[in-house]
């Protein structure tokens, strides 16, 4: 009877349960190992400011991956749009109007980069991996050309409040933004026609074309959305440092890929869920700050990220083939 | 015969060659310094290591995969071997190449296992291996840069094939290390064109199921490809260390982008099955000319990254439009 119940759970749900258990495990482990440092409000707050940055970028990566592609240019988009926002704000001076204008400019740049990616991928049929890898070079290069190297500083004080302040009680703004984005993406993927079209296209591009889905349109929308995610991530990053530069967050490309795969998204397209990705974001942020507290060399982190990525991929591959064999024997 | 000539004049490789010629003429016109023979020597020095990497990347991409782990493998194996050499006072070029090569093959074996045996996507597998190798280098081997390379090994960076003195009395010397990529290019040409293994690489890049049915051992070929790639990555890393006379744990990191770009601009199709050694050579040459001579024509340094990106996008765009046209044209 119990066996049957486990079998009725979908693969996504199983993955999410494992992730929740991981979160609890790490939390327990850290409260036992060094309760003072881990449960300190400063540490919790530090974690809350950091994870939305790459969390939102991960949603962009997730959508691209569900559509059967990949978006390696997210960090480039993030930096370029935050640089443009910074230029706008520096021109317009210190007022609420200039901040709003800066944010709008950032979102516009994100969408434009997405249009560019989507056009090359959907219309010219260049593989997404190549387009976005080039895109990373192109957008960071453009950012570098605008800033001429050093970071743009002297942004309005109020702009820094976006990431560092808290509107409602003690909850940092970044967490609120993350929640809003997560709900919006979940709605987009679960309850809109576009959402189901994306996963159809990711599962089988030819079949979706012959069932009347406009693949080009879906691809364009996908990369525009992921570009927007990139620019929101960029706004958070630049607001966190209160400056904009062309090489912030370089390590985020690998990290977002890791998060998305850990969160149960299928690298070959078609499947993925917001809850899983959000849980994976929290797991990785907790591991990261656990490393910091235990004073582990930060390069070990790179090493461990790689091991985790390969490990997760291997485990899910082994489970997949075993399930296939079971089905064959039944 | 005539159609054959027009065909060979409009291949991707030919277009790259036209671009190189046009670009060189333009740069030479703006800045006379480019027209000297010394440009060839500086260019070949700049291209040297990129060429080694491009050969391995071309081979991997032709087989339908991709390898972004080679800079990390190159850094790990050359840096680890250099530390061994310095610790035990081993002054031997052969030891340097052999030990680093074995380390490279070991990493290649991991890549091959993940991609050929476990059938993971090549990009994600090699990205993971890259992160592991880079993290391991920095965390366990250290971050110190070494410039005290032993005398005997260092000697290799001071051996020259020939030297050339220009009109201003500045002497340019052609390093003998250039022989490594040259030999590799010839080897790659022979293997890819004239051996069963080489044809197998093209076959699995075109369609791995068809290749299997045609009798190729797909898994074995993939193992050979990724292990060779690991070995060549290590060779590139060691060559770079000797050429620069300095061992650093991460100065090659980030070069994968440029190498993939050079390979793709040279007409290798990223989806696999197509690509030539000559095309790769011209792709590397084009990128090297752009990178090294933008300053000569007055493009500021901070624009370089963007211009290179633009050229890659144009290059891949043209290749893809042509591929799309071929796919859409009526089949006879």
Mean pLDDT by 10 residues, chain B (332 residues): 72 83 88 83 90 96 93 96 93 94 97 93 90 93 90 87 79 88 96 95 93 94 97 96 91 85 85 90 90 79 82 78 73 52
Residues of chain B with Cβ-Cβ distance to A129 below 8 Å are 66, 123, 270
Contact call for B321 and A124, based on CB within 8 A: yes
Please tell me the distance from the alpha carbon of residue A323 to that of residue A14, in angstroms, as a whole number.
14
pLDDT of B55 reads 96
Residue that is written with structure tokens 């850290």 in the block: A30
- The interface residues of chain B toward chain A in range 247-276, judged by CB-CB distance below 8 A, are 257, 260-261, 264, 270-271
Contact call for B264 and A70, based on CB within 8 A: no
Nearest to B139 among A261, A297, A313 (CB): A297
Reported as a pLDDT band with limits 50, 70 and 90, residue A320 is confident
* Residue A8 reports pLDDT greater than 70: no
In the predicted model, what is the mean pLDDT of residues A91-95?
85
Please tell me the distance from the alpha carbon of residue A208 to that of residue A68, in angstroms, as a whole number.
12
- Give the mean pLDDT of chain A: 89
Sign of the dihedral through C-alpha A147, A150, A154, A155: positive
How would you write B231-251 as a 3-class SS string?
Answer: HHHHHHHHHHHHHHCCECCCC
- pLDDT more than 70, % of chain A: 97
pLDDT of B113 reads 96
CA dihedral B15, B43, B309, A73 (to 10 degrees): 120
Write B112-119 long-range contacts (CB < 8 A, 24+): B112/B222, B112/B223, B112/B225, B112/B226, B112/B227, B114/A310, B114/A313, B114/A314, B115/B65, B115/B222, B115/B226, B116/B218, B116/B219, B116/B222, B116/B223, B116/B226, B117/B219, B118/A313, B118/A314, B118/A317, B119/A317
Q: Touching check for B317 and chain A: CB below 8 Å?
A: yes
pLDDT of A217 reads 95
Closest C-alpha among B146, B178, B175 to residue B158: B175
Phi/psi of residue B160, nearest 5 degrees: -125, 150
Residues of chain B with Cβ-Cβ distance to A307 below 8 Å are 128, 132
Question: Do the beta carbons of residue A242 and residue A159 sit within 8 Å?
Answer: yes
For strands B171-175 and B160-165, give the pairing: antiparallel
Reported as a pLDDT band with limits 50, 70 and 90, residue A1 is very low
* Residue A2 reports pLDDT greater than 50: no
Angle between helices B38-62 and B256-265 (to 10 degrees): 90
pLDDT of A315 reads 85
* Residue A330 reports pLDDT greater than 80: no
Contact call for A124 and B121, based on CB within 8 A: no
Q: Touching check for B309 and chain A: CB below 8 Å?
A: yes
pLDDT of A295 reads 82
pLDDT of B330 reads 62
The token pair that represents A219 in the structure block? 């691809």
**A242 to chain B, closest Cα gap in Å:** 22
- Choice between A3 and A165, residue whose per-residue pLDDT is larger: A165
Reported as a pLDDT band with limits 50, 70 and 90, residue A276 is very high
- Choice between B52 and A160, residue whose per-residue pLDDT is larger: B52
- The interface residues of chain B toward chain A in range 132-161, judged by CB-CB distance below 8 A, are 132-136, 138-139, 143
Residues of chain B with Cβ-Cβ distance to A284 below 8 Å are none
Angle between helices A74-92 and A215-241 (to 10 degrees): 60
SS3 label, residue A297: coil
SS3 label, residue A148: coil
In the predicted model, what is the mean pLDDT of residues A117-128?
90
Nearest to A305 among B66, B131, B305 (CB): B131
Residue B230 domain boundaries: 2-328
Domains in chain A with CATH codes: 48-317 (1.10.3470)
Question: Do the beta carbons of residue A89 and residue A102 sit within 8 Å?
Answer: yes
For residue B271, what is the nearest residue in chain A, using CA coordinates? A127
SS3 label, residue B77: helix
Contact call for A142 and B139, based on CB within 8 A: no
Write B197-202 long-range contacts (CB < 8 A, 24+): B197/B221, B197/B224, B201/B59, B201/B62, B201/B63, B201/B225, B202/B62, B202/B273, B202/B274
How many other β-carbons are positioned within 10 Å of the β-carbon of residue A62?
Answer: 29
Q: Which parts of chain B are beta strand (E)?
A: 160-165, 171-175
Q: Touching check for B131 and chain A: CB below 8 Å?
A: yes
Closest C-alpha among A230, A208, A192 to residue A55: A230
Closest C-alpha among B220, B224, B226, B231 to residue B102: B231
Residues of chain B with Cβ-Cβ distance to A131 below 8 Å are 316
| Phi/psi-derived region of residue B11, left when phi > 0, alpha when psi is between -120 and 50, beta in every other case | beta
In the predicted model, what is the mean pLDDT of residues A76-81?
96
* Residue A318 reports pLDDT greater than 90: no
pLDDT of A224 reads 97
pLDDT digits 0-9 by tens, A170-217: 788 899 999 999 999 999 999 999 999 999 999 999 999 999 999 999
pLDDT of B293 reads 80
Q: Say what the ipTM of the complex is.
A: 0.85
Contact call for B306 and A306, based on CB within 8 A: no
Residue that is written with structure tokens 């994870």 in the block: A51
Please tell me the distance from the alpha carbon of residue A236 to that of residue B279, in angstroms, as a whole number.
43
**B287 to chain A, closest Cα gap in Å:** 14
In the predicted model, what is the mean pLDDT of residues A75-93?
94
Closest C-alpha among B305, B203, B182 to residue A149: B305
Q: CATH number of the domain that B55 lies in?
A: 1.10.3470
Question: How many domains are contained in chain B?
Answer: 1
Q: What is the DSSP letter of B163?
A: E
Please tell me the distance from the alpha carbon of residue A295 to that of residue A289, in angstroms, as a whole number.
9
Please tell me the distance from the alpha carbon of residue A25 to that of residue A21, in angstroms, as a whole number.
6
For residue B314, what is the nearest residue in chain A, using CA coordinates? A134
Closest C-alpha among B124, B135, B138 to residue A303: B135
Nearest to A125 among B121, B308, B320 (CB): B320
The token pair that represents B52 in the structure block? 């080694």
State pTM to two decimals.
Answer: 0.88
pLDDT of B317 reads 79
CA dihedral A159, A162, A167, A170 (to 10 degrees): -120
* Residue A223 reports pLDDT greater than 50: yes
pLDDT of A7 reads 57
Contact call for B128 and A306, based on CB within 8 A: yes
pLDDT of A33 reads 83
pLDDT of A29 reads 87
pLDDT of B331 reads 54
Please tell me the distance from the alpha carbon of residue A45 to that of residue A176, in angstroms, as a whole number.
13
* Residue A61 reports pLDDT greater than 90: yes
Question: Do the beta carbons of residue B328 and residue B282 sit within 8 Å?
Answer: no
Number of helices (H) and strands (E), helices first, in chain B?
14, 2
For residue B260, what is the nearest residue in chain A, using CA coordinates? A130
Contact call for A267 and B303, based on CB within 8 A: no
pLDDT of B1 reads 60
Burial zone of B94 (CB within 10 Å; 0-12 exposed, 13-18 middle, 19+ buried): exposed
């Amino acid at each position: 009877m119990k066996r049957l119940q486990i079998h009725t759970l979908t693969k996504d749900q199983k993955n999410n349960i494992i992730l929740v258990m991981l979160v609890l495990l790490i939390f327990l482990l850290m409260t036992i190992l060094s309760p003072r440092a881990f449960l300190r409000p400063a540490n919790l707050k530090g974690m809350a400011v950091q994870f939305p940055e790459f969390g939102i970028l991960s949603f962009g990566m997730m959508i691209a991956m569900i559509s059967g592609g990949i978006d390696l240019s997210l960090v480039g988009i993030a930096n370029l749009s935050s640089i443009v926002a910074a230029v706008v704000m520096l021109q317009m001076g210190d007022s609420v109007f200039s901040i709003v204008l800066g944010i709008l400019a950032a979102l516009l740049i994100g969408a434009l980069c997405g249009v560019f990616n989507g056009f090359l991928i959907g219309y010219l049929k260049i593989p997404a991996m190549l387009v976005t890898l080039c895109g990373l070079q192109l957008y960071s290069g453009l950012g570098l050309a605008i800033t001429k190297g050093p970071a743009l500083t002297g942004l309005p004080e109020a702009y820094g409040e976006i990431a560092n302040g808290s509107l409602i009680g003690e909850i940092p703004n970044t967490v609120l933004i993350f929640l809003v984005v997560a709900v919006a993406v979940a709605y987009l993927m679960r309850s809109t026609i576009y959402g189901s079209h994306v996963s159809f296209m990711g599962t089988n591009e030819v079949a979706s074309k012959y069932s009347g889905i406009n693949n080009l349109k879906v691809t364009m929308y996908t990369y525009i959305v992921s570009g927007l995610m990139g620019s929101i991530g960029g706004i958070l990053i630049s607001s966190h440092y209160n400056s904009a530069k062309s090489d912030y967050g370089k390590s985020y490309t690998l990290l977002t890929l890791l998060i998305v795969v850990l969160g149960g998204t299928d690298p070959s397209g078609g499947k993925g869920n917001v809850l899983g990705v959000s849980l994976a974001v929290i797991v990785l942020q907790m591991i990261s700050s656990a490393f910091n507290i235990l004073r582990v060399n930060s390069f070990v982190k790179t090493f461990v990220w790689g091991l985790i990525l390969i490990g997760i991929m291997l485990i899910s591959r082994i489970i997949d083939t075993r399930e296939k064999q079971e089905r064959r024997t039944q | 015969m005539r159609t054959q000539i027009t065909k060979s004049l409009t291949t991707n490789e030919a277009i790259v060659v036209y671009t190189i010629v046009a670009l060189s003429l333009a740069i030479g016109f703006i800045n006379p310094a480019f027209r000297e023979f010394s440009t060839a020597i500086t260019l070949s020095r700049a291209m040297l290591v990129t060429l080694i990497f491009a050969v391995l990347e071309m081979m991997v991409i032709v087989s339908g995969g991709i390898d972004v782990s080679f800079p990390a493998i190159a850094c790990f194996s050359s840096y680890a071997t250099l530390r061994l050499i310095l610790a035990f006072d081993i002054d031997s070029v052969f030891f340097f190449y052999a030990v680093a090569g074995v380390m490279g093959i070991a990493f290649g074996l991991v890549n091959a296992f993940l991609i050929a045996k476990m059938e993971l996507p090549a990009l994600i597998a090699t990205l993971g291996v890259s992160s592991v190798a880079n993290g391991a280098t920095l965390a366990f081997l250290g971050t110190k840069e070494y410039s005290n390379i032993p005398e005997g090994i260092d000697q290799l960076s001071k051996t020259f094939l020939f030297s050339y003195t220009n009109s201003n009395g500045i002497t340019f010397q052609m390093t003998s290390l250039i022989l490594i990529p040259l030999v590799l290019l010839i080897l790659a040409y022979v293997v890819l064109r004239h051996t069963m293994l080489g044809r197998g690489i093209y076959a699995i890049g075109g369609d791995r199921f068809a290749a299997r049915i045609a009798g190729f051992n797909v898994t074995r070929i993939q193992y050979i490809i990724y292990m060779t790639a690991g070995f060549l990555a290590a060779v590139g890393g060691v060559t770079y260390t000797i050429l620069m006379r300095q061992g650093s744990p991460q100065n090659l990191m980030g070069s994968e982008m440029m190498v993939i770009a050079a390979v793709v601009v040279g007409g290798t199709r990223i989806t696999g099955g197509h690509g030539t050694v000559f095309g790769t050579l011209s792709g590397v040459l084009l990128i090297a000319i752009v990178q090294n001579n933008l300053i000569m024509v007055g493009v500021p340094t901070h624009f370089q990254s963007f211009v290179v990106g633009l050229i890659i996008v144009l290059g891949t765009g043209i290749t893809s439009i042509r591929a799309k046209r071929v796919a859409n044209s009526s089949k006879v």
